[in-house]
A and B are shown apart, each in its own frame.
Chain A
């Protein structure tokens, strides 16, 4: 069953086009991530789904109902905000109850619901406190409790973890995922953090300049990014982009890579799919973990280490290929020291090629 369908939604303020024809379709129970840099329109899209802003054109459908003309309160949604948006003069219990009170839910049912969500989120002991007396993480829980009390068909999360410190953010991320597993309610989640997007989402819509750059599962987005922007935005450290010429040598299609140790031609597996671009400039996209340390007997690129960044489990090696700075993620024990030369190879099965003009992925 479709839970949320957004059909050709646009939003304009005067001459500024915030959203330029957004199409999204997700099934019930899915976790949709809207991710992109600031100003990409993701929060506007969220507000349009919530009904807090009206689209200039297009249609929003929640469940099987077109909700363009339905007030936010009648859309059967609940929203969690980045700033938590707790009502400052009410205590936690009143905050959670306010929506039910407005909808005229009987007192007894209100109390039961409050008890249920408070237990679920472990905020029972905070019910009589005011928001000002709570820590950031506790406020976030209360905000989620307020949303849960609604028991909606659609949850909207607007950058809910951005105001938390790093450790708490990771904890709450896990909790939100567990909550989703338990409740199986459809969630739309806005974030600018690509790690949140990858870890939480069933479906990810990567947005930029009011356009969805790619819409797909986390694996698709990570392994087969639609264009340079998506490739560079998702993944940390970013994908390496190496300028090359696509050439043919001994019947194999490949590119020539130049490192400090000299130039070497590497052929791409299944290279014939790029045959149409032979002789053209292309951008080779390689994720840091797709650059590996070569075995003794394997052909390799001899690269000079410029800088290392140990992160604990991995060490980032900064080197140069084709005049571009390239980062390789290697095991700390295999990592050289700055100034050393290392024998590196690319995992050619996973690299991707982009057209430098259109910035779209080739093949």
Chain B
């Protein structure tokens, strides 16, 4: 009866091989992501300054953090940047996608051009926009050279407006990506739905507004998730474009965290602000994941 022993013979390898193969990456993730999150969490309750120490101070670092004016500027900037970046990037991206969806010639080329900024790192985007927005080098100088000397565009060096330059660069970088996501969604919409709506008498804007875009709700949410976490984590773009300045007027939580932990010798405050960022991301992602997973179980 040996031929019936198959499953038992292979049972050991079959049961253990997948675990063995997955173990290294599992361990690495466990230590270097969750381990360090935990360590950072612990540090945020200690009196660490330039170097980590383990003197327990409870919530003192959080109190310092919440009393810090610069931290609140960073939070306010995050709200300005986040909402404008997500809203603007989404609006631009959808608009581009809808225009590209009109069966136009040269779509392939245009799609690549619009998507290209996404291939750049935020550092490159930030540096390029820094030059373009620099009053002495870029746009303002160009218009001055044309003879319009009264023109001023000094947002980059204006503490009240510097965060908006980050918004401009961010939208420029992300709208092509949003376009690609929505274009894929639009392509998934059955052509005859649009034909049916035409026969029903709907105009093109109405067709998109009432029928097509509502059908893209899942794409809408995925895009929102992706942009939201880019916004919260945004660090390199701000560093390259404004460096958080002038002063700390364009600080965002990530740059604040970096400055506290590594340049100003307040590692405990930095760790506390990192924990606050983690909590913010979790507040967005966890409900999303929950609804996604629950949705897939039902359907």
A and B form one complex: yes
In the complex where A89-B211, A89-B214, A89-B215 touch, is A81 in contact with B200 (Cβ < 8 A)? Answer: no
Q: How far is the CB of A178 from chain B (nearest CB, A)?
A: 24
Q: Among the listed B199, B202, B217, which residue makes an inter-chain contact with A79, where contact means beta carbons less than 8 Å apart?
A: B199
Residues of B195-210 whose CB lies within 8 A of A? 195-202, 206, 210
Q: In the complex, A99→B207 CA distance in Å?
A: 11
Q: In the complex, A47→B217 CA distance in Å?
A: 30
Chain A 90-123 interface mask (CB, 8 Å, partner B; 1/0): 1000000011001100000000000000000000
The answer to whether the Cβ of B190 comes within 8 Å of any Cβ in the partner chain is: yes
In the complex where A82-B192, A102-B206 touch, is A72 in contact with B215 (Cβ < 8 A)? Answer: no
Closest-by-CB residue of B relative to A84 is B192
Residues of A contacting B196 in the complex (Cβ-Cβ under 8 angstroms): 79, 81, 85, 87, 146
Q: In the complex, A293→B93 CA distance in Å?
A: 72
Do residues A87 and B199 form an inter-chain contact, with CB atoms below 8 A?
Answer: no
Residues of A126-170 whose CB lies within 8 A of B? 146, 150, 158
Beyond A72-B198, A83-B190, 12 additional contacts (C-beta under 8 Å) are A50-B199, A72-B199, A73-B199, A79-B199, A81-B192, A87-B193, A87-B196, A87-B197, A87-B215, A89-B217, A99-B201, A103-B201
Residues of A43-87 whose CB lies within 8 A of B? 47, 50-52, 72-73, 77-79, 81-83, 85-87
Q: In the complex, A321→B190 CA distance in Å?
A: 49
- Interface bin, chain B: 10 to 19
Q: In the complex, A27→B261 CA distance in Å?
A: 84
Q: In the complex, A98→B201 CA distance in Å?
A: 9
- Interface bin, chain A: 20 to 34
Do residues B199 and A77 form an inter-chain contact, with CB atoms below 8 A?
Answer: yes
In the complex where A78-B199, A98-B202 touch, is A87 in contact with B192 (Cβ < 8 A)? Answer: no
Residue pairs across A and B with Cβ atoms less than 8 A apart, 13 shown, are: A50-B195, A73-B198, A73-B200, A81-B195, A83-B192, A85-B190, A85-B195, A88-B215, A89-B214, A89-B215, A98-B202, A146-B200, A150-B200
Give residues in B with beta carbon < 8 Å to A: 190, 192-193, 195-202, 206, 210-211, 214-215, 217
Q: In the complex, A85→B190 CA distance in Å?
A: 7
Do residues B211 and A87 form an inter-chain contact, with CB atoms below 8 A?
Answer: yes
Residues of B contacting A87 in the complex (Cβ-Cβ under 8 angstroms): 193, 196-197, 210-211, 215
Closest-by-CB residue of A relative to B200 is A99
Closest-by-CB residue of B relative to A98 is B200
Which of A51, A87, A99 has the most chain B CB within a 10 Å cutoff?
A87
Closest-by-CB residue of B relative to A86 is B193
Do residues B198 and A52 form an inter-chain contact, with CB atoms below 8 A?
Answer: yes
List of 3 A-B pairs having minimum Cβ-Cβ separation, nearest first: A73-B201, A99-B200, A89-B214
Closest-by-CB residue of A relative to B193 is A85
Residues of A contacting B197 in the complex (Cβ-Cβ under 8 angstroms): 87, 98
Q: How far is the CB of A58 from chain B (nearest CB, A)?
A: 21
Which of B199, B202, B210, B217 has the most chain A CB within a 10 Å cutoff?
B199
Q: How far is the CB of A145 from chain B (nearest CB, A)?
A: 13
Residues of A contacting B202 in the complex (Cβ-Cβ under 8 angstroms): 73, 98, 102
Q: In the complex, A289→B206 CA distance in Å?
A: 55
Q: In the complex, A86→B195 CA distance in Å?
A: 11
Closest-by-CB residue of B relative to A158 is B192
Q: How far is the CB of A14 from chain B (nearest CB, A)?
A: 13
Residues of B contacting A86 in the complex (Cβ-Cβ under 8 angstroms): 193
Do residues B192 and A85 form an inter-chain contact, with CB atoms below 8 A?
Answer: yes
Residues of A contacting B195 in the complex (Cβ-Cβ under 8 angstroms): 47, 50, 52, 79, 81, 85
Do residues B200 and A102 form an inter-chain contact, with CB atoms below 8 A?
Answer: yes
Q: In the complex, A146→B202 CA distance in Å?
A: 14
Q: In the complex, A338→B217 CA distance in Å?
A: 61
Q: How far is the CB of B77 from chain A (nearest CB, A)?
A: 36
Residues of A contacting B200 in the complex (Cβ-Cβ under 8 angstroms): 73, 98-99, 102, 146, 150
Q: In the complex, A150→B196 CA distance in Å?
A: 12
Q: In the complex, A51→B121 CA distance in Å?
A: 48
Q: How far is the CB of A107 from chain B (nearest CB, A)?
A: 17
Residues of B contacting A77 in the complex (Cβ-Cβ under 8 angstroms): 199
Q: How far is the CB of B188 from chain A (nearest CB, A)?
A: 11
Q: How far is the CB of B281 from chain A (nearest CB, A)?
A: 30
Residues of A contacting B211 in the complex (Cβ-Cβ under 8 angstroms): 87, 89-90
Closest-by-CB residue of B relative to A143 is B196
Q: In the complex, A217→B104 CA distance in Å?
A: 43
Q: In the complex, A77→B202 CA distance in Å?
A: 14
Closest-by-CB residue of A relative to B194 is A85
Residues of A contacting B193 in the complex (Cβ-Cβ under 8 angstroms): 85-88
Closest-by-CB residue of A relative to B199 is A72
Closest-by-CB residue of B relative to A87 is B211
Closest-by-CB residue of B relative to A53 is B195
Residues of B contacting A158 in the complex (Cβ-Cβ under 8 angstroms): 192
Residues of B contacting A52 in the complex (Cβ-Cβ under 8 angstroms): 195, 198-199
Closest-by-CB residue of A relative to B211 is A87
Residues of A contacting B192 in the complex (Cβ-Cβ under 8 angstroms): 81-83, 85, 158
Q: In the complex, A72→B198 CA distance in Å?
A: 7
Residues of A contacting B206 in the complex (Cβ-Cβ under 8 angstroms): 102
Residues of A contacting B199 in the complex (Cβ-Cβ under 8 angstroms): 50-52, 72-73, 77-79, 99
Q: How far is the CB of B129 from chain A (nearest CB, A)?
A: 38
Residues of A304-329 whose CB lies within 8 A of B? none
Residues of B contacting A102 in the complex (Cβ-Cβ under 8 angstroms): 200-202, 206
Q: In the complex, A227→B199 CA distance in Å?
A: 37
Closest-by-CB residue of A relative to B299 is A132
